[in-house]
Structure 1
Amino acid sequence: MPPSRRRATLATVAASAGVSVATVSKVLNGRSDVAPETRSLVLSLLEQHDYVAPPQRRGEAAPDTIEVEFDADLNAYSTEIVQGAVQAGADLDVAVVVSIRRNADRTGGWARDLVAAGRRALVAVTGELTAGQLTALARARLPLVVIDPLNLPRARVTSVGSTNFAGGMAATQHLLALGHRRVAYLGGPATAACNQARLHGYRAAMEAAGAPVPPGYVRTATFHYYDGVTGGAALLDLPEAPTAIFAGCDDIALGVLEAARARGLRVPEDLSIVGFDDTQIARMASPPLTTVRQPLREMGAVAVRTALRLAAGEQVESHHVELATELVVRGSTAPAAHTGG
């Protein structure tokens, strides 16, 4: 926001609407004793003036609050993120509110509503944010930190992730070391930064080993179980099917396990599978899943701590932080059954 542009007040909006400040306040607080026409006019002017309610003074409000926002239903991955964020909040005496808001729900008043609700900062997880939404957050002066962003419409958006490229290389090198040469990759959205890094790590390992990547051996969809089932089925039904599959997340890997089971294939005797994340489901799978561990709880904690620093007006050392990944070998991988694999 340009320095010359002053924050709109209730009085500004009331004067534009030709009503009292009390009436504007009633609209903001959702009171029912306002005529529908007046309510509609006031809401429209609040939008036009980019009105943001001032934060309540300490002592009048609940503890400092950060919102951790997901754009899809919670799963094993997001639960780990939440655990880390909530623990960091407890350590810092900050309340952490978890919400699910689809991209279509991030309307023009979304950022102002967050500020009016007392949020000091927003942590968005694996979301896809538009330039307009980033502008709305900037106008509301609401700091943003993104975890595993699906896109970065602005280079200076602060984000937290992991060493996805190194993790992708480690997963693929593990399979190559077991003698597999027909290794496929089944990942998430093609445009997701984390997916691209994992895929590049896979390709780098394959190229370094002189292992070809035949047509059809790389597939992308979403980071969901059902895409692991359908994508795994497509890979396993190829004329020359892979003997090993590197899945872009644990949910996808479990879908591949189901696709293999439906075809009478044994894991790991007939097919080796590596996931990514090391969520609880990786340890509960049958067989337990070899996977690349992301420090998901620490990623949630780092995002909360970074968001609080931004809210306090501090400068951060880097706009993107990557935490180290680690390959965890369990029972879903084994040596290739024959030298051709």
Structure 2
Amino acid sequence: MGVKEMTISDIAKLAGVAKSTVSRYLNGGSVSEETKRKIENVIINTGYIPNTFAQSLKAKRTNIIGTVIPRLDSYAAAKTLIGIDEELRALNCQMLISNTSQDLDRELESIYGFARQKVAGIILMATQITDAHLEAFKKIQIPVILVGQLHHEIYSLIHQDYESGYEMGKYVLLKGHRNIAFLGVTEKDIAVGVRRKEGFKKALEEVVDCNVRFHETSFSMMEALKQATLIIEKYKPSIIVCATDNIALGVLKAASLKGLRIPEDLSITGFGGYDVTEVIHPGLTTIKYFYKDAGQVAARNIVKLVNGEDVNKVTHSKFKLIERESVDNRIVNIL
């Protein structure tokens, strides 16, 4: 038996609003924020797209590219956005930004909202891809590119998280560290929470005399500070490898509060290559990702998809290990 397609009446009833309000919303008219969220929640939660919505998706699209970001205060997102904006302008396109504050429901609302506004394509800087995301991508019938995450069904531009994690692991071992703490994030974030850690772990599996503990925190510097304080007090590692530069900055503060010298008493590394890591003292050894370049490539690729041109399913962004003063050479010290 076929699934009954939603009508405006169905949506209005479920949302508790008038049919005219739903019609006004679907046609881009003015409705209150509360009403808008009610209607969008019905569209998302029921798994249906109303006829009028589906028809509007077939209408002539604009030269606008919708870009969904998880946080406004993210260095990576900001640099990526700069690259996207510059490249889109060069290609005579415009960028429309939606911030989700790491709320998955808001992320889905943004995707459907962009489709209703008839954007030509969507660039999504997601932290995770759920079944609801995949359902949305199928329904909106608009080209989508993921930046920073990989999914085999969706065009993706990824930073080489596994490979850079492996290179950081080899570097730490080369410096003679064997009592190691890795401070990561939730594994719901496949790129940062899983791939970086797995690459690092693979490098350490190649030696036999290594003691490594894996810990978890959030992306917050203050949360990293608290977690690092506990790690330092309980395990006294020679180095803490941090999954992001933000986490590393929190660890640096924790070490300072404990009266530890960097790198003599505790070595610290990060991932990201944020500008601040070069100007702080001591400078932070880190993996630099080229976020602006990645944004430019993502912009070029989404425009190609909009124009029906071929694009690789997965594009890899480059990285580089930047060695500074935050890592002690334990082999020299032993000698």
TM-score (norm 2): 0.81
- CA deviation map 1:108-137 (0-9, x unaligned): x65442123231111111332321232123
Q: 2:220 aligned to 199, 217, 224, which one?
A: 224
Q: 1:193 to 1:110 in 2, by over 3 A?
A: closer
CA positional deviation for 1:98: 2.1
- CA deviation map 1:314-333 (0-9, x unaligned): 3322x222222211011211
Q: 1:26 to 1:169 in 2, by over 3 A?
A: closer
Answering whether residue 171 of structure 2 is matched by residue 169 of structure 1, we say no
Answering whether residue 180 of structure 2 is matched by residue 178 of structure 1, we say no
Q: 2:231 aligned to 216, 232, 235, which one?
A: 235
CA positional deviation for 1:54: 4.3
What are the residue-to-residue correspondences of 1:50-65 with 2, within 5 Å? 51-52=53-54, 53-54=56-57, 57=60, 64-65=63-64
CA contact (8 A) 1:292 1:325 kept: yes
Answering whether residue 325 of structure 2 is matched by residue 331 of structure 1, we say yes
- CA deviation map 1:263-286 (0-9, x unaligned): 100111211111111011212322
Which ranges of structure 2 fall in alignment gaps of 5 or more residues?
A: 13-18
Q: 1:274 to 1:24 in 2, by over 3 A?
A: closer
Partner SS for 1:210: coil
Counterpart residue number, 1:258: 253
Counterpart residue number, 1:310: 305
Compare CA radii of gyration and give the structure with the larger one.
Answer: 1
CA positional deviation for 1:47: 4.4
Counterpart residue number, 1:93: 92
CA contact (8 A) 1:274 1:289 kept: yes
Counterpart residue number, 1:244: 239
Question: What is the letter of the counterpart of residue 267 of structure 1?
Answer: I
Question: What is the letter of the counterpart of residue 200 of structure 1?
Answer: E
CA contact (8 A) 2:165 2:200 kept: yes
Q: 1:209 aligned to 207, 210, 217, which one?
A: 207
CA contact (8 A) 1:70 1:127 kept: no
Counterpart residue number, 2:16: none
Q: 1:141 to 1:299 in 2, by over 3 A?
A: same
Q: Distance in 2 between matches of 1:177 and 1:54?
A: 55
Counterpart residue number, 1:133: 133
Partner SS for 2:113: helix
Q: Distance in 1 between matches of 2:269 and 2:21?
A: 60
CA positional deviation for 1:25: 5.5
- Judging by fraction of residues, say which structure has more helix: 2
Q: Distance in 2 between matches of 1:78 and 1:31?
A: 30
Q: 1:22 to 1:224 in 2, by over 3 A?
A: closer
Partner SS for 2:334: coil
Answering whether residue 106 of structure 2 is matched by residue 105 of structure 1, we say yes
Q: Distance in 2 between matches of 1:26 and 1:191?
A: 37
Q: 1:30 to 1:194 in 2, by over 3 A?
A: same
Q: Distance in 2 between matches of 1:50 and 1:180?
A: 62
Q: 2:51 aligned to 15, 30, 49, which one?
A: 49
Counterpart residue number, 1:155: 152
CA positional deviation for 1:232: 1.5
Question: What is the letter of the counterpart of residue 256 of structure 1?
Answer: V
CA contact (8 A) 1:161 1:321 kept: yes
Which ranges of structure 1 fall in alignment gaps of 5 or more residues?
A: none
Q: Distance in 1 between matches of 2:124 and 2:186?
A: 17
TM-score (norm 1): 0.79
CA positional deviation for 1:49: 3.1
Partner SS for 2:315: strand
- CA deviation map 1:234-289 (0-9, x unaligned): 221124x1111111110011011011111100111211111111011212322221
Q: 1:325 to 1:309 in 2, by over 3 A?
A: same
- CA deviation map 1:205-238 (0-9, x unaligned): 2222333234xx1112333322321221222112
Cα RMSD (Å) of the superposition?
A: 3.3
Counterpart residue number, 1:188: 185
CA contact (8 A) 2:8 2:50 kept: no
Partner SS for 1:66: strand
Identity in percent: 22
- Paired residues in the alignment total 311
Q: Distance in 1 between matches of 2:242 and 2:124?
A: 24
Q: Distance in 2 between matches of 1:226 and 1:98?
A: 28
Question: What is the letter of the counterpart of residue 305 of structure 2?
Answer: L
Counterpart residue number, 2:77: 78
